[in-house]
């Protein structure tokens, strides 16, 4: 489902508007893309929480402490991913006539996102340890990292390389 949604996002952003009124079509494409992204994020967050719950096997007391923290983590992570989404949308809009500066800006945005996600995981590893044992906190970050890698492979496989 993720790959299908990603394909729709990329297609709705990257394909030119073929109607006579290109500005209206472009506005509709942008609105459609934003809705697809929102749906994708909600689906991904729900699946991540489900996988996390099955993987961590928390006690009732640990769960009561962990899940509010995890929701905050997901919120911060979503803000970082928004930056990547914006960079990808801009990249898609200018893909056919991408300047060297725009190509570098896109790749730098991806690298910046990677660093921010890395920093976020370090920050939340410490915070998760206030709610669960250190090994469980480590497992939570390990699972999040794997989920993030899968997500990034899905996204990057749908975005063409710089020409």
Q: What is the DSSP string of 75-100?
A: HHHHHHHHHHHHHHHHHHHTGGG--H
How does pLDDT run across 53-86, given as a tens digit for each residue?
999 999 999 999 999 999 999 999 999 988 888 8
| pTM for the whole structure | 0.73
Query: Domain spans of the chain?
Result: 2-158
The one-character DSSP state at 109 is H
How does pLDDT run across 97-122, given as a tens digit for each residue?
999 999 998 999 999 999 999 999 99
């Amino acid at each position: 489902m993720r790959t299908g949604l990603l394909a729709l996002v990329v297609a709705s952003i990257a394909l030119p508007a073929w109607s006579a009124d290109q500005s209206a079509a472009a506005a509709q494409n942008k609105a459609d893309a934003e809705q697809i992204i929102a749906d994708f994020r909600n689906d991904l967050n729900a699946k991540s929480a489900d996988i996390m719950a099955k993987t961590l096997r928390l006690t009732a007391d640990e769960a009561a402490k962990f899940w509010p923290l995890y929701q905050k983590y997901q919120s911060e992570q979503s803000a970082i991913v928004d930056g990547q989404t914006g960079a990808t949308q801009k990249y898609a809009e200018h893909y056919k006539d991408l300047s060297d500066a725009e190509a570098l800006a896109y790749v730098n945005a991806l690298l910046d996102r990677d660093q921010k996600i890395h920093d976020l995981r370090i920050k939340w590893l410490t915070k998760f340890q206030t709610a669960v044992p250190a090994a469980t906190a480590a497992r939570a970050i390990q699972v999040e990292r794997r989920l993030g890698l899968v997500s990034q492979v899905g996204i990057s496989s749908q975005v063409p390389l710089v020409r």
